[in-house]
Amino acid sequence: MTGKTLVVRSNIKEYAKANETSLFVAGDFGDRLQEKVIRLIKDACKRAKENQRNTVMGRDL
């Protein structure tokens, strides 16, 4: 699956500004986070299959 956004950039910016340090978010941060999230999901799916499950669970992370 490509082209589908799992990470919402506006939510990242809002979260980064909500804490006491109020940081800006670089343009490439969302892309790198998206890549990492996709890797996490793929790895979790692989683990679920290895454990003969059709359900991805929190423990698969």
Sign of CA dihedral 44, 2, 6, 9: positive
- pLDDT grade for 8, boundaries at 50, 70 and 90: very high
User: Rounded to two decimals, what is the model's pTM?
Assistant: 0.81
Average pLDDT estimate for 13-18:
87
The region that residue 21 occupies, defined by phi over 0 for left and psi between -120 and 50 for alpha, beta otherwise, is alpha
What are the domain boundaries of the chain?
9-60
**DSSP state, 55?**
S
pLDDT of residue 2: 60
- pLDDT grade for 5, boundaries at 50, 70 and 90: confident
